[in-house]
Structure 1
Amino acid sequence: MPLFLFNYTKRQLHGIFEAASPGQMNIDPYGWTKDGSKRTLYPAQVQIHVQKNCCPLMENQFAPIIKGNYYSLTHFQFELDHAQVGKLITLLSTQLVAPSATMLRATGKWQIANQHPSEPRAKKEDRIKLPAAYVNPTTCSESDGSLILTGPSSYLDRIHQPIQNDIEAMEKHEVGLIYEKLQRLAETCEPFDSHSTRQVQGLETKMHNEDDYSQGENLGQQESTNESFSLPSDLNSVIAELQELRAFKQESIETMVQLTQIQTKLLSEVKQLQDRCTRLETLSNKSETYASVTMEFNSEQHLDQDGSIFLAGGFDGKSWLASLESYSPPEDIIKSLKPMSSLRSTSLAKLKDDLYVIGGENGGLWFDTVESYDPVNNDWTSLPCLNEKKGGLAASTLHDKIFALGGANGIHCFSDVEMFDVDVGRWIPARSMLQKRFNLAAVEFNGAIYAVGGYDGKEYLSSAERFDLREHSWSRLESMNSKRASHSLVVLNEKLYAIGGFDGGTMVATVEVFDPRRGTWMSEAPMNESRGYFAAAGLNGSIYAIGGIGEEGNTLEKVEQFKEGHGWQLTDLKAIGKRCYHSAIVM
């Protein structure tokens, strides 16, 4: 795994390092202390290889690459994805330097610095140590400490491999030329005295050490200051060729790096042109369909989709619905759009500019059908079906892929996760959740999917878990204080709100808030109305809880609005009417 060392005080990023062990506590209990008399302030450590020794990057250099990781002005998440690792490696590779004096290379192995005299010598001398592979940012001090940013495993072996191969080939060619010259010189030149022989042997040792650049560069100075020794002309020519080869090698490396940067810039420009073409095509389509759309909705007030909540399917207290509607809470206006192909409750997901409805149920009838809605053309497109008919599932998008989580079919509850890749055009089984979950709630936040609550076929759940696509695994989170299913999960101000639901005995009005940076749940002011099987969405700094089933089993038409610091307020919004088992999403 590639690692980068971040210095909090100087705001600098060092690299490029490669992990040589798992992260452990106190590999060197006296590391990073001046004289080894005190135990280290940085006990969480990992052994590493130095892949490339580069000048550190200032924060204004690396911040644009990891800007998506920042959650405050001075703090950022430490896990990196493949694209971020590749860009950091490319940027650091432009600032290669000679090995540091604190990392002395002897007999081909790295020596461990700052080792306390009382400590036994490390068994693997080809490894040095850096501070922790991961530290919780909320508990980290910004004193003179350092943290490691981690990237995907084995990535260093794959990034810029053509350039690395070219450099290695040049190095092998250079060493071969040097040995050939020395061999010819040994056969033809006159014998030296013992002092001269020692000098030549010392030169040969320097040539064997590829990384001892400073010794080679100062060789000419040593010649001029040593008056008792004069090198033969052939050996002088070898030294000159060596210096030329090294200069050529450095020039070639710089050229390759420049070409890589040019290639990256060109690819970025091509992507920008493609995006521009897509936008122009969209504008063209809008102009062609504008007249017909206006005619269809000319009796209604125009709604801005950016300020609207999309509502799909559900039950109005009398019958199941296939409707899709756009609702504007500020104006309390609802606009009917082209309906779905089936009457059902369903799960919604948003990918780019399209809306996706996935699976669902209708009074015991279970669906595996999937459709996508194009808001520009007000039209639906049928997509490949799920691998299993299921309802009560949750849907979310992550890295341009759609995930269908859990659900049930009336017989079994599922922990299964299916992933839809638009480029592949089919649903692919993904890593299952740790628990079966029916009528769960899920949401994507900061590059991860959070799945909360639900019913596992035996009991209602308070547990929660998190999926990170880079690790391709689910991890357990702290459980909620209350069990709940048929609830809603909404992101507001970088926090997750678990709202209402059914706890196995009654509908609840309670609300709990999860802060991903702290990893804990906190109680929030409850709603005014207990409700489950409702829809909720975050819009313009507020959360709207819409409809649902009340504590007495009645279908609700009440809408509540939540603002942080103001709690929940019942509204007089009436346009939606009675509605339950429906879904909501903001485009």
Structure 2
Amino acid sequence: VQTRVRMQCARVRESKFKPIIMDNYYNDRHFWFELDHDQTNKLISLLSSVAINPRSSAPKNSAKWKNIVRSLPSPDKSEKIEGFDALDAEYKTSSKSKNNLSMEACSSEQVVEKDEKDLIYKRLKELVLSRDCSDSTLAGCAEDTAVVNDLDLEDGSLSVIRYTYRQSPVTLHVLLLSDSSYPCMQLVQEMEELKASKIEHNYRIGYLEQKLVQAETEIRQLKDQCLLSASVSNPSVPRVDETLVESLSEVQLHLDDSMFLVGGYDGVSHLSTFKSYSPIQDVITSLKPMNSVRSYTSVAELNGELYIFGGGKENSWYDTVEAYDPSNNRWSSRPSLSKKKGSLGGGSVNGKIFALGGGNGIESFSDVEMFDLDVGRWILGHSMQEKRFALASAALNGALYAVGGYDGSDYLKSAERFDPREHSWAKIGSMNSKRGCHSLVAMHEKLYALGGFNGSAMVRSVEIFDPRRGSWMSGEPMNQSRGYSATALLKDSIYMIGGLKANNDIIDTIERYQEGQGWQVIHPKNMGKLCFSSAIVL
């Protein structure tokens, strides 16, 4: 990384510059160094206010020039070298009276002029070449000759003389103090500025290329949306369904009128499918399937990813967890639960995912597991007050609710709430009816318990819980009894997708509920039968 000193400034306390780069702090003491233009301008303004003159700290009675000698090698013996006197002694031969040069520091405070610098150059060169060869052979003279390779004299900086002595490279550093400036220094500075300008130019080109790619993607997406609109409004246009092109899948991932459907059972086999469904456009888009077949699973969102945990098929249960990234349509494995379980509840609160209850077909659980990204594994938390298999759960106002379920002997009408601030579960008002394999949705500061199994039959009743009143009241019932439905809230509407009805028949319809309009039955064109599935909206 090349740097250039533009000005010298007094030290600035962190309390002064921290407000300017506050967005760059990733903890209390450390911050990222990349600055935007606004931050850079503010920092330069702050530092300019405490700028100091770099020459003001030099003593007025300092020498106009002095020398610093480093590592002058001698093949005969090693000795301490100080100043030009030691250098002069090293170059003396048996004829001590010849070419004896001595350099003394000048104590004058006048500015070193050009002719004085020329004189310094001349004397330094003479010093290097003043080796007496009269008592040596021609070969020895050639061996001892010091050849000046380079001489650099720069104003106000450490100048360097490079030469060869006894076939060994020697570097002599001379410090010249002067107020003069030379075009060479200005040229170097301009070159550095040109390099910096080139770097910024390349950065802008890269940024514009990135924006161009984004614009082309948006254009392609708009074309796909136009195709969708045409297929809905004009029956003569071939219908766009699961055969949509890949670019349309990318569009669906970002539409705010879609939900995700996870796995389930279609009456023939358990599924590993993962789909995006837009009820408004009646469009289903197949996305990359999960790594395993899953029914009776739970799903929650964390940091823009969808976590699918637990579940199973028939009499086989899972403890595995998968995460889906909508930005690249890919699945990744995540740390497993502490035990295999299905028909469990789930939800995310305060940046953590909770897995509630569930069972394995033999035993019902009251366990609560919490996944924390910082820890990177599932941690056992405070258990619920009752065992709950096939329960329903939802998050509302930073609290987690667990409602109904099966405790191993009977279906439950009880409900409880977990407040992360209190780290404990507390009983709330019980429902009017027992329910299991039902759904729970939070809408308009209330909880809706929908359908399910009451211990003897599937029901279509709805109960609504108001946390401010602490009690449940009856809501408008659905058109059809159903349980094990995939349920989601989308644009202030509750969608009950598929499920089981009486005699364990699988349902292929959807019911939508809106306040003031009640329940409406929807017959999707390409949904088919579906139960034991889960749904979620990003």
TM-score bracket for the superposition, by shorter chain length? 0.5 to 0.7
Residues 540 and 267 of structure 1, relative CA distance in 2, 3 Å threshold: same
What SS does the corresponding residue of 1:306 show, helix, strand or coil?
Answer: coil
Contact 1:558–1:574 (CA under 8 A) maintained in structure 2: no
Given candidates 402, 414, 417, the residue that maps to 2:368 is 417
Instruction: State the structure with bigger RCO (CA 8 A, min sep 6), 1 or 2.
Output: 1
Contact 2:300–2:306 (CA under 8 A) maintained in structure 1: yes
1:25 counterpart residue number: none
2:480 counterpart residue number: 529
1:550 counterpart residue number: 501
Residues 300 and 360 of structure 1, relative CA distance in 2, 3 Å threshold: closer
2:308 counterpart residue number: 357
Deviation at 1:572, TM superposition (A): 2.7
Q: Provide the C-alpha distance between the structure 1 equivalents of 2:329 and 2:249, rounded to a whole number of angstroms.
A: 16
Contact 1:557–1:574 (CA under 8 A) maintained in structure 2: no
Deviation at 1:348, TM superposition (A): 0.5
Report matched runs for 1:286-325 at 5 Å.
296-298=245-247, 302-303=251-252, 304-325=254-275
Deviation at 1:410, TM superposition (A): 1.9
Q: Which runs of 4+ in 1 moved over 3 A?
A: 259-274, 286-296, 298-302
1:133 counterpart residue number: none
Code of the aligned partner of 2:384: M
Contact 2:261–2:277 (CA under 8 A) maintained in structure 1: yes
Given candidates 512, 520, 533, the residue that maps to 2:463 is 512
Q: Provide the C-alpha distance between the structure 2 equivalents of 1:263 and 1:492, rounded to a whole number of angstroms.
A: 42
Q: Is structure 2 residue 331 aligned with structure 1 residue 380? A: yes
Residues 575 and 494 of structure 1, relative CA distance in 2, 3 Å threshold: farther
Deviation at 1:269, TM superposition (A): 6.1
Per-residue CA deviations over 1:87-118 (Å, capped at 9, x if unaligned) read xxxxxxxxxxxxxxxxxxxxxxxxxxxxxxxx
What SS does the corresponding residue of 1:552 show, helix, strand or coil?
Answer: helix
Q: Provide the C-alpha distance between the structure 2 equivalents of 1:357 and 1:289, rounded to a whole number of angstroms.
A: 33
Q: Provide the C-alpha distance between the structure 2 equivalents of 1:299 and 1:306, rounded to a whole number of angstroms.
A: 14
Per-residue CA deviations over 1:462-503 (Å, capped at 9, x if unaligned) read 000000111000000000001001011111111110000011
2:294 counterpart residue number: 344
Residues 528 and 415 of structure 1, relative CA distance in 2, 3 Å threshold: same
Deviation at 1:516, TM superposition (A): 1.2
Count of residue pairs the alignment pairs up: 324
1:116 counterpart residue number: none
Q: Provide the C-alpha distance between the structure 2 equivalents of 1:338 and 1:290, rounded to a whole number of angstroms.
A: 20
What SS does the corresponding residue of 1:435 show, helix, strand or coil?
Answer: coil
What SS does the corresponding residue of 2:307 show, helix, strand or coil?
Answer: strand
Residues 324 and 518 of structure 1, relative CA distance in 2, 3 Å threshold: same
Fraction of identical pairs, as percent: 52
Contact 1:408–1:414 (CA under 8 A) maintained in structure 2: yes
Contact 2:249–2:287 (CA under 8 A) maintained in structure 1: no
Q: Provide the C-alpha distance between the structure 2 equivalents of 1:413 and 1:261, rounded to a whole number of angstroms.
A: 59
Residues 554 and 268 of structure 1, relative CA distance in 2, 3 Å threshold: same
Aligned-CA RMSD value: 3.1
Contact 2:451–2:460 (CA under 8 A) maintained in structure 1: yes
Q: Provide the C-alpha distance between the structure 1 equivalents of 2:317 and 2:343, rounded to a whole number of angstroms.
A: 10
1:483 counterpart residue number: 434
Code of the aligned partner of 2:334: L
1:578 counterpart residue number: 529
Deviation at 1:367, TM superposition (A): 0.2
Contact 1:440–1:486 (CA under 8 A) maintained in structure 2: yes
Contact 1:534–1:546 (CA under 8 A) maintained in structure 2: yes
Q: Provide the C-alpha distance between the structure 1 equivalents of 2:398 and 2:306, rounded to a whole number of angstroms.
A: 20
Contact 1:507–1:532 (CA under 8 A) maintained in structure 2: yes
Q: Provide the C-alpha distance between the structure 1 equivalents of 2:385 and 2:20, rounded to a whole number of angstroms.
A: 42
Deviation at 1:552, TM superposition (A): 2.7
Q: Provide the C-alpha distance between the structure 2 equivalents of 1:264 and 1:520, rounded to a whole number of angstroms.
A: 49
Report matched runs for 1:423-438 at 5 Å.
423-438=374-389
Q: Is structure 2 residue 514 aligned with structure 1 residue 563? A: yes
Q: Provide the C-alpha distance between the structure 1 equivalents of 2:16 and 2:478, rounded to a whole number of angstroms.
A: 54
**Bigger Cα Rg:** 2
Per-residue CA deviations over 1:397-440 (Å, capped at 9, x if unaligned) read 11111110000012211000000111111110000001000011
Q: Provide the C-alpha distance between the structure 2 equivalents of 1:432 and 1:260, rounded to a whole number of angstroms.
A: 46
What SS does the corresponding residue of 1:348 show, helix, strand or coil?
Answer: strand
Code of the aligned partner of 2:276: S
Deviation at 1:349, TM superposition (A): 0.4
Contact 1:546–1:559 (CA under 8 A) maintained in structure 2: yes
Deviation at 1:262, TM superposition (A): 9.3
1:330 counterpart residue number: 280
Residues 481 and 337 of structure 1, relative CA distance in 2, 3 Å threshold: same
Deviation at 1:344, TM superposition (A): 1.5
Q: Provide the C-alpha distance between the structure 1 equivalents of 2:419 and 2:249, rounded to a whole number of angstroms.
A: 43
What SS does the corresponding residue of 1:357 show, helix, strand or coil?
Answer: strand
1:458 counterpart residue number: 409
Q: Provide the C-alpha distance between the structure 2 equivalents of 1:469 and 1:288, rounded to a whole number of angstroms.
A: 43
Code of the aligned partner of 1:491: A
1:492 counterpart residue number: 443
Q: Is structure 2 residue 474 aligned with structure 1 residue 538? A: no
Deviation at 1:341, TM superposition (A): 1.0
Per-residue CA deviations over 1:386-405 (Å, capped at 9, x if unaligned) read 00000010111111111100
What SS does the corresponding residue of 1:350 show, helix, strand or coil?
Answer: strand
What SS does the corresponding residue of 2:256 show, helix, strand or coil?
Answer: helix
Residues 552 and 452 of structure 1, relative CA distance in 2, 3 Å threshold: same
Residues 458 and 326 of structure 1, relative CA distance in 2, 3 Å threshold: same
Q: Provide the C-alpha distance between the structure 2 equivalents of 1:348 and 1:264, rounded to a whole number of angstroms.
A: 40
Q: Provide the C-alpha distance between the structure 2 equivalents of 1:496 and 1:317, rounded to a whole number of angstroms.
A: 31
Q: Provide the C-alpha distance between the structure 1 equivalents of 2:249 and 2:350, rounded to a whole number of angstroms.
A: 36
- TM normalised by structure 1 equals 0.52
Deviation at 1:261, TM superposition (A): 12
Q: Provide the C-alpha distance between the structure 2 equivalents of 1:541 and 1:472, rounded to a whole number of angstroms.
A: 31
1:44 counterpart residue number: none
2:11 counterpart residue number: none
Deviation at 1:542, TM superposition (A): 0.5
Report matched runs for 1:147-166 at 5 Å.
none
Deviation at 1:352, TM superposition (A): 2.0
Tell me, which stretches of 5 or more residues in structure 1 are unaligned? 1-258
Deviation at 1:301, TM superposition (A): 9.9
Residues 301 and 478 of structure 1, relative CA distance in 2, 3 Å threshold: same
What SS does the corresponding residue of 2:504 show, helix, strand or coil?
Answer: coil
Residues 453 and 264 of structure 1, relative CA distance in 2, 3 Å threshold: farther
Report matched runs for 1:18-29 at 5 Å.
none
Code of the aligned partner of 1:556: I
Per-residue CA deviations over 1:337-369 (Å, capped at 9, x if unaligned) read 111111121110011210000010100100000
Q: Provide the C-alpha distance between the structure 1 equivalents of 2:368 and 2:245, rounded to a whole number of angstroms.
A: 39
Q: Provide the C-alpha distance between the structure 2 equivalents of 1:465 and 1:492, rounded to a whole number of angstroms.
A: 18
Q: Provide the C-alpha distance between the structure 2 equivalents of 1:262 and 1:509, rounded to a whole number of angstroms.
A: 63
Contact 1:305–1:326 (CA under 8 A) maintained in structure 2: no
Q: Provide the C-alpha distance between the structure 1 equivalents of 2:362 and 2:446, rounded to a whole number of angstroms.
A: 35
Q: Is structure 2 residue 400 aligned with structure 1 residue 449? A: yes
Deviation at 1:518, TM superposition (A): 1.4
2:131 counterpart residue number: none
Code of the aligned partner of 1:338: K
Deviation at 1:306, TM superposition (A): 2.1
Code of the aligned partner of 1:400: G
Q: Provide the C-alpha distance between the structure 1 equivalents of 2:405 and 2:217, rounded to a whole number of angstroms.
A: 43
Residues 263 and 435 of structure 1, relative CA distance in 2, 3 Å threshold: farther
Q: Provide the C-alpha distance between the structure 2 equivalents of 1:399 and 1:266, rounded to a whole number of angstroms.
A: 27
What SS does the corresponding residue of 1:502 show, helix, strand or coil?
Answer: coil
